[in-house]
Amino acid sequence: MTQRIEIYDTTLRDGTQGEGVNFSVSDKCRIAEHLDAFGIDFIEGGWPGSNPRDVKFFERAKKLKLKNARIAAFGSTRRHKLTCDMDSNVQALLRAETPVVTIFGKSWLFHVAHALRLSPADNLEIIEETVDYLSSRVQSVIYDAEHFFDGYRTDPAYALATLRAAAAGGPQCIVLCDTNGGSLPETVGRVTREVREQVALPLGIHCHNDGELAVANTLAAVSAGASHVQGTINGYGERCGNANLCAVIPNLELKLGRDVIGPERLRRLRDTARFVSAIANVSIDTRAAFVGDSAFAHKGGVHVSAVERNPATYEHIAPESVGNNRRVLVSDLAGRANLLAKARQLGIELNDEQDVLNELKRLENEGYEFEAAEASFELLISRLRGSYRPFFKLLGFRVIDEHRGALMPMSEATVKVMVGDRIEHTAASGNGPVNALDKALRNALKEFYPSLTEMHLVDYKVRVISSNLSGTASLVRVLIYSGDGRTRWGTVGVSANIVEASWQALVESVAHKLISDGVVPPCDELQIHDTNNSLKGAIG
């Protein structure tokens, strides 16, 4: 029977040491509950001896109704010349009243001498006494051997002596830490096997990603006998981050055949990654393995044609197994297979795919990009098939930017539209011209289309496109991502005028929202406001 691998999540402690990652007490509680439902075994909540926020979290954590996970408090071994009874950090660990306490100690003589300024013997005594003290007072103690692989490389005998000192205190598990993140998988695997021959307790692995090898090093340690894995969701952590559990868990489960969280929970992987990223307010890399938007995206026509016949031709796993989905991208590299596959995803039957393909390539040659603007692509097909009906007619808009001394610049937009036989003329201010224009447009339409109040701007990207024009007169491409609390979609606009390009993308976004909601347009005539481009000529 395959040994089960314990998953120890340190997103709430090690993850918050990453640049730009910050969680409130409420954030931590929400993430802990989500990780518990996902199937995580241990959730490291923070260091109660270091800051009031973590103390508050542990107070709140006592009331969380967790079904799978155990909360762990993190801290260091006692300080030199202080007993555990007198050490405030050790006592803070006990006051947290968690079922698990994780402490770290020094394995590297370089750190013992220069960071702690202790003798090797004093360090060993501190490790053993602290582990023993805590083991007699809490349910489980996990010992993190900090800088173990660096210490083992320079003095393996002393590094092993620190593990024996910890083991004498009776911990549940000893974790080998690649704290500087510079080890290679071959080294991690070899050292873990050698340690197994010397230490009888279960071994764990804790890797940082400074060499972009944290996941590989973690897998190497498991293959060498480690049964306890530490990491963070999305790889958050200090410097280059920690081992990314969103890659470690599926690799363990699907590639190494280890019992981790099970196939049903594994299907929640992408949702878990997105949940934590949303609370952290840090976007997931679109190319992130397993959970990224591009992880199972296919662009080349040859690839799409093969995947349509058998997904295994260009996919290493079924995307559904980790809660992701297959995406077919459309661009000027697209072939007939891309268009047909994309149309099927959108529920559209194409009989004129060559015409669509020709128009797609023409538009992309002019600067449009539909890979990240699938809503615009869907609307493009509707227009080419003659089935698109606009929801309003633009009579005009104006945007004013004003800067008054030291105050922040103010933007104001006015929009005049016709819906059916009624004219609406509204204004709105915003943080920048696009935000003001977005608000003014939705203000003008909300009486006719109430569901637009659910809609909001999620992201806004601008890129200058190479053209015959130069400098500020160059064409710009605007990509807008919108959401309504249930789903997100992307739209695109292109113009030499950034506000006009933004307007195109905004109107596309509104149209997609209304079509998705099943709203029936009140008018039949398309508004043509630019004869130079068929896409721009049918957006409002």
Q: Domain for residue 388, yes or no?
A: no
Beta bridge partners of 422: 419
Asked if residues 94 and 137 have their Cβ atoms less than 8 Å apart, the reply is yes
Q: Domain for residue 286, yes or no?
A: no
CATH of the domain at 122: 3.20.20.70
Exposure string of 290-302, with b = 16+ CB inside 10 Å and e = fewer, is: bbbbbbbbbbbbe
Is residue 269 located within the same domain as residue 242?
yes
φ/ψ of residue 212, rounded to 5 = 60, 30
pLDDT in tens, the chain (540 residues): 578 999 999 999 999 999 999 999 999 999 999 999 999 999 999 999 788 899 999 999 999 999 999 999 999 999 999 999 999 999 999 999 999 999 999 999 999 988 889 999 999 999 999 999 999 999 999 999 999 999 999 999 999 999 999 999 999 999 999 999 999 999 999 999 999 999 999 999 999 999 999 999 999 999 999 999 999 999 999 999 999 999 999 999 999 999 999 999 999 999 999 899 988 988 889 899 999 988 998 876 677 678 777 888 889 999 999 999 887 766 555 555 556 666 666 666 666 667 777 777 787 777 787 766 788 888 888 887 778 889 999 999 999 988 776 667 789 999 999 998 899 999 999 888 888 999 999 999 999 999 999 998 888 888 887 655 455 557 888 989 898 988 889 899 999 888 999 999 999 999 999 999 999 887 544 343 333 343 443 333
What are 259's two structure tokens?
Answer: 């019992």
Q: Domain for residue 285, yes or no?
A: no
Is residue 340 located within the same domain as residue 242?
no
Is residue 271 located within the same domain as residue 314?
no
Alpha carbon 411 to its chain's center: 32
> Taking the CA of residue 524 as centre, how many other CA atoms within 13 Å lie in the half-sphere pointing to its CB?
0
Last residue of some domain: 221, 250, 280? 280
Asked if residues 303 and 271 have their Cβ atoms less than 8 Å apart, the reply is no
Alpha carbon 314 to its chain's center: 23
How far apart are the C-alpha atoms of 162 and 160, rounded to whole Å? 5
Sheet holding 488-495, edge to edge: 456-465, 475-483, 488-495
How much is the pLDDT for 540? 38
Is residue 340 located within the same domain as residue 407?
no
Last residue of some domain: 360, 384, 413? 360
How far apart are the C-alpha atoms of 495 and 56, rounded to whole Å? 52
Q: Domain for residue 367, yes or no?
A: no
How much is the pLDDT for 234? 97
How much is the pLDDT for 531? 30
How much is the pLDDT for 8? 98
How far apart are the C-alpha atoms of 213 and 197, rounded to whole Å? 25
Is residue 335 located within the same domain as residue 225?
no
Q: Domain for residue 372, yes or no?
A: no
How far apart are the C-alpha atoms of 198 and 166, rounded to whole Å? 13
How far apart are the C-alpha atoms of 418 and 113, rounded to whole Å? 77
What range defines the domain where residue 238 resides? 6-280
Q: Are strands 327-328 and 297-298 parallel, antiparallel or unpaired?
A: parallel
Asked if residues 101 and 141 have their Cβ atoms less than 8 Å apart, the reply is yes
Residues 6+ apart with CB under 8 A from 519: 391, 449, 451
Q: Residue 375: how many CB atoms within 10 A of its CB?
A: 25
How much is the pLDDT for 536? 42
What are 305's two structure tokens?
Answer: 């044609």
How far apart are the C-alpha atoms of 475 and 478, rounded to whole Å? 10
Is residue 56 located within the same domain as residue 198?
yes
Is residue 14 located within the same domain as residue 49?
yes
Q: Domain for residue 156, yes or no?
A: yes
Beta bridge partners of 170: none
Is residue 413 located within the same domain as residue 321?
no
How much is the pLDDT for 331? 56
Residues 6+ apart with CB under 8 A from 239: 181, 208, 209, 210
Q: Are strands 422-430 and 410-419 parallel, antiparallel or unpaired?
A: antiparallel
How far apart are the C-alpha atoms of 222 and 252, rounded to whole Å? 9
Is residue 242 located within the same domain as residue 316?
no
Q: How far is CA 10 from CA 25, 45, 342, 503, in A?
A: 15, 7, 39, 43
Residue 370's nearest CA partner among 397, 389, 346 is: 346
Exposure string of 228-243, with b = 16+ CB inside 10 Å and e = fewer, is: bbbbbbbbbbbeebbb
User: How many folded domains does the chain comprise?
Assistant: 3
How much is the pLDDT for 352? 64
Last residue of some domain: 280, 309, 324? 280
Q: Domain for residue 511, yes or no?
A: yes
3-state SS, 438-449, equals HHHHHHHHCCCC
How far apart are the C-alpha atoms of 137 and 486, rounded to whole Å? 47
How much is the pLDDT for 334? 53
Asked if residues 510 and 442 have their Cβ atoms less than 8 Å apart, the reply is yes
CATH of the domain at 532: 3.30.160.270
Q: Domain for residue 521, yes or no?
A: yes
How far apart are the C-alpha atoms of 528 and 534, rounded to whole Å? 9
How much is the pLDDT for 432? 86
Residue 423's nearest CA partner among 400, 396, 398, 450 is: 396
Is residue 243 located within the same domain as residue 305?
no
How far apart are the C-alpha atoms of 461 and 488, rounded to whole Å? 15
Is residue 356 located within the same domain as residue 459?
no
φ/ψ of residue 388, rounded to 5 = -80, 135
What are 43's two structure tokens?
Answer: 């959730």
Is residue 276 located within the same domain as residue 302?
no
User: What is the residue whose two structure tokens read 């109430």?
Assistant: 450
How far apart are the C-alpha atoms of 453 and 451, rounded to whole Å? 5
